[in-house]
Structure formats: C-alpha cells, structure tokens
Chains A and B, each alone.
Chain A
Amino acid sequence: MPSTVALTVARYRPERESVPTFQTYEIPFRKDWVVLDALNHVKDSLDGSLSFRWSCRMGVCGSCGMKVNGTPKLTCATFLSEYLPGPIRVEPLDYFPVVRDLVVDLTDFVRKLKQVKPWILRKEEKPLAEGEYLQTPDQLDAYKQFSMCINCMLCYSACPIYGLEPSFIGPAAIALAQRYNMDSRDQGAAERLKILSEHDGIWQCTFVGECTKVCPKHVDPAGAIQQYKLTGATHWVKSLLLPWGTR
C-alpha cells in the first residue's frame, strides 16, 4: 500500500482563467477513504480555494457526482483504493456548464424535471374523508425502482445524446416521469405523454445504455425510456386506428 496518492483535480476559476486547468495534490492514502474524503482533505489542509459540492456522504443526497478517471461517479461511494497507484483524475460532470472548479449548474435539469410533472396527478381528488389511496406491494413494486433516483446527474453526464442535443429531456427526468406513470394512484400519464413523445422526449434516445451503467441507485433509466417508447408507439398506433378512442 502506498502512503500517498496523487489527486489531479480540474480547476476553473473564472476570474483567473478562461479554460479549466488541472492541479495535482499529493494526499495521504487511506484504504477507508473515498474520493470525497480526499477532496475534503485538500480543502481542509492543502488548498481552501477548491470548490465542490457534497452533503450526506452516504449516497443519498446526490450532490457529489463528479467524473473520476473519466467515469461519472458519486465521489462518496468511490474508494481511492480502486484507482491505485494513481494518479486519480477528478473532473466536473460533463455537458453541464461549469460554475467553478468541480461545481456545475443544474438549472437545465430542474427545468426539464418540472416539465414532466413528477408528482401524483389526479383527474379528481377524492375527499379527505374517504381516506388514503391504497396500494398493494405489487403495485408499489411496479415503479419502486424508478423512484430510487437521487438526481445526481451521473446519467446526464454519461449520455452523449444529451451532450450533442442539449434539448433532450434526458434519462433521469424520463425515468421519474415513468415512476409516476407506473404508480397506481396516478392518472397523469396522458398529460406526460404530450411532453415525453415530442421530439425532445423519448425519441431522442438512441439507447446508448450508459445512463443505466453509471446509475448508483440501479434505477435503469435506459430501461424506463425503452419501455416508454413501447407505450408511446402503441399509443400512436391506437390513435391512428381509433382516433376517437385516445382523447
């Protein structure tokens, strides 16, 4: 085991440089350290000017997504020991504008997420007195996987389509739309279909499949999109054959 490892970090300080540069820090190697621990060590002891986002340290909040040696990762769940002998290269997520160092701006995603209405839509709410909307374990099982998404944006960073066509709604937003479409309590599938079946929705996806590979929560956004393509295509055929039936 080495006693130290080199951490090469992308730096972008807009007041000083117009393109990102790399800075290398020699940090102590500990086998229980993840990349986020190493970044915090840099921030605390070596260079307080390094900027990055993090919060929970346990794969729940989705803030610490970065590229580690070229692959989008949650840095709180990526051990230094996986990358020995180093150097370990840490960069901001691809395809999002870089605000500073490792911090990217996610406004684009938040705007798209809102478009797909990721909440339970009812044609008519039932009165409170009638109690809650019940659900069987099997009904929960139908969408549970998609509900695990933590909006960490690794899937967007892994998706070359999002890089080439920034208007693409993207993997996480579609998976989350599908999470509500599959929910037995929801009645908003037709409303979401309007957004999802447009050009920038599911049909932009050419099934590269990388979003599913990098997902730390096993959401399988690629699966969600392909399943939705089947729904979208079926709906389209139905609307051709029975134009009055799909209103």
Chain B
Amino acid sequence: MSAEPPYTLYHPRWYRRRVSVWWWLQNRSYTRFVLRELTSVFVAFFAVIYLWQLRALAQGPEAYGQFLARLKTPPFLIVDTFAFVFVLFHAITWFNLTPKAMVLRLRGKRVPDWVILGLNYAAWLVLSGAVAFMLLQG
C-alpha cells in the first residue's frame, strides 16, 4: 500500500450507547415531532381521495353520486374526521415554523415572528373564507 490509511479513532473502552427504537416516546416534544411527521400520510390520503373524486367526476353524474354516497358511510366519516385532525395539526405546525425559515428585514430591522405568523394565518383565513363562500354559493 502506497497511500497512508486514514487515521481513525478506535477506543474499545469508550462507551457508546445505542439509540432505542422508542426514542420518540422519551420526551413529549419528540412524540409531537413524530406525530407531525406522520401527518404527511393523512395529507397523502386526502390527495388520493381528491384524485378519486376527479375520476368519479369524469365518469359522469351516476359515478359521482355513488362516490358522494360512499363518502357518507360511517367508516369514511370516521377516517375523514381522524385525517382532518391530523391535516389541521400539519397545517398549524407548518405555519408555526415559517418565521424560523423566513427572516425578513425591513430597514435593517428583523420583522418580528408574530407579524410573519399573523400574515400567514390571515392569508389562510382569507383563502379558506373565499373557498367556503364559493362552495356555499354554489
């Protein structure tokens, strides 16, 4: 061997603790974090339902009626409620992290976190209101 092997630390007597599979139960904020990550499954669930709805719509009024009737069955209502809570959790935690990632400076001063948060929530409310208005009008 011509090249010198890289020096690596080897200390057999140092104690290295393995991370438990249950690390996320050791502390409440870790559990909240894992739940937040899990919400992506429910976001995907709503996306699939939406695609399914589009397909039913394309197949004509009868298929669409069947689709709507199926959504009203108890299993779907239960799963939907569950998924809705998780998606809400997803949205709120997502909004709450925006001021961390977005640092806006106005005239050299950092815009306070609550302003960025407030603008995000305001936009969310306005858009949700507009969608609700369109749905209720129709």
Contacts and interface: CB of A to CB of B under 8 A. Distances in A.
Interface of A: 12, 14-15, 18-20, 70, 94-95, 97-99, 105, 107, 138, 141-142, 160, 163-164, 206-210, 213, 220, 222-223, 226-227, 229-230
Contacts of B100: 207, 220, 222-223, 226-227
Contact of B14 (A14, A19, A210): A14
A207 B97 contact: yes
A69 to B, nearest CB: 11
A163 to B, nearest CB: 4
Contact of B19 (A98, A105, A164): A164
B29 A208 contact: yes
Given A105-B14, A160-B23, A209-B33, A226 B108 contact: no
A160 B19 contact: yes
Contacts of A208: 29-30, 33
Contacts of B133: none
A45 B37 CA distance: 49
B25 to A, nearest CB: 11
Nearest to B107: A138
A206 B13 CA distance: 32
Contacts of B24: 160
Contact of B15 (A19, A107, A210): A19
B18 to A, nearest CB: 9
B27 interface: yes
B15 A97 contact: yes
A142 B100 CA distance: 14
B11 interface: yes
B124 to A, nearest CB: 19
B16 interface: yes
Given A70-B26, A210-B30, 9 more contacts: A14-B13, A95-B17, A98-B14, A99-B11, A160-B23, A206-B33, A209-B29, A223-B100, A226-B101
Nearest to B13: A14
Nearest to B103: A227
Contacts of B11: 97, 99, 105
B69 interface: no
B97 A226 contact: yes
Interface string B58-87: 000000000000000000000000000000
12 contacts: A15-B13, A18-B15, A141-B108, A142-B105, A160-B19, A163-B19, A164-B19, A206-B37, A208-B30, A209-B29, A222-B100, A223-B103
A146 to B, nearest CB: 12
A94 B108 CA distance: 39
Interface in B1-32: 9, 11, 13-17, 19, 23-24, 26-27, 29-30
A207 B16 CA distance: 25
A105 B14 CA distance: 9
Contact of B101 (A141, A163, A229): A229
B115 interface: no
A107 B103 CA distance: 33
B119 interface: no
A230 to B, nearest CB: 5
Nearest to A206: B37
Contact of A230 (B26, B33, B37, B101): B101
